[in-house]
Amino acid sequence: MEQMQHQMMGYDRTSIMFSPDGRLLQVEYAKKTVKQGTTAMGVVCKDGVLLLADKRINEPLIVPHSIEKVSPIDDHIGATASGIVSDGRILIDIGRTIAQKHRVTYDSPVDTLSLVKNICDIKQYYTQVGGARPFGVSLLIAGVNDDNDLFVTDPTGIFFQYKATAIGDRDEEIKDLLNKEYKENLILNDGLKLCLKILRKIQGKNFDINRIDAAVIRSTDKKFEKLTVSDLNKIK
């Protein structure tokens, strides 16, 4: 009822107008969009970081490998998005440009935190500009510099660092399971095993290994590596 009153008064027609109770309704709608997006998880392990996402393939004639949910930003950084996927693709492309400019300018790989801050600056800018809407997407960004790092950015431009987390559909249930089962001494193989176990539990009979897109970045070589269905099937 309260939301209906706000809509009738027109406070959700622009992202730059505060409602009487101090809310930006278009930003809140963007956050709800993320909740309806595909499930994605990230886990920091002792020997690297991993990202895993559900492709949510709803049409039998779609070629599974044509859908990319986990993407490289630089050799040592990867990302996955939940929400409006096209928004995520644009932000990932922006992240790639930032990373390449840093390499050309400083002859060194960009720090994951610096990249995240740059992307969040852009997201925040679009919450205060007339004639534009907020980005309806959250990003999980994982990278290996001196440490193994995992960040979440939300549509407001806020970011948080995590040891393990999830975004998208049923993220709260997944976070509860991660809180119970995550251990800081996990290696990548065990982290992947945990993520697949949680997805199987959450999705039940709808779980399909062919719908999973996953990648790891190992601490040893700091290289983004996409995992195949065959690789995932070997996880025991």
Instruction: Give residue-wise pLDDT tens across range 99-149.
Output: 999 999 999 999 999 999 999 999 999 999 888 899 999 999 999 999 999
Query: pTM for this structure?
Result: 0.92
Query: Above 80 in pLDDT, residue 25?
Result: yes
Query: Above 70 in pLDDT, residue 168?
Result: yes
As a whole number of angstroms, the distance between CA 163 and CA 175 comes to: 11
In the prediction, which pLDDT does 4 show? 57
Distances (CA, A) of 188 to 45, 68, 103, 149, 232: 6, 21, 28, 14, 12
Minimal CA–CA distance to 26: which of 7, 47, 46, 51? 7
For residue 230, being part of any structural domain is answered with no
As a whole number of angstroms, the distance between CA 156 and CA 172 comes to: 19
As a whole number of angstroms, the distance between CA 5 and CA 158 comes to: 27
Determine which of 79-83, 138-142, 224-228, 232-236 has the lowest per-residue pLDDT on average.
232-236
For residue 59, being part of any structural domain is answered with yes
For residue 44, being part of any structural domain is answered with yes
In the prediction, which pLDDT does 7 show? 55
For residue 231, being part of any structural domain is answered with no
Mean pLDDT of 195-222: 93
For residue 233, being part of any structural domain is answered with no
Query: Above 70 in pLDDT, residue 2?
Result: no
Enclosing domain of residue 52 = 2-222
For residue 236, being part of any structural domain is answered with no
For residue 191, the tally of other CB atoms under 10 A from its CB is: 26
Query: Above 80 in pLDDT, residue 14?
Result: no
Q: Where are the alpha helices (DSSP H) in the chain?
A: 2-8, 25-35, 85-106, 112-125, 171-181, 188-203, 229-233
For residue 227, being part of any structural domain is answered with no
Determine which of 39-48, 61-70, 222-231 has the lowest per-residue pLDDT on average.
61-70
Tally of domains within the chain: 1
For residue 229, being part of any structural domain is answered with no
CATH number at residue 52: 3.60.20.10
Mean pLDDT, all residues of the chain: 91
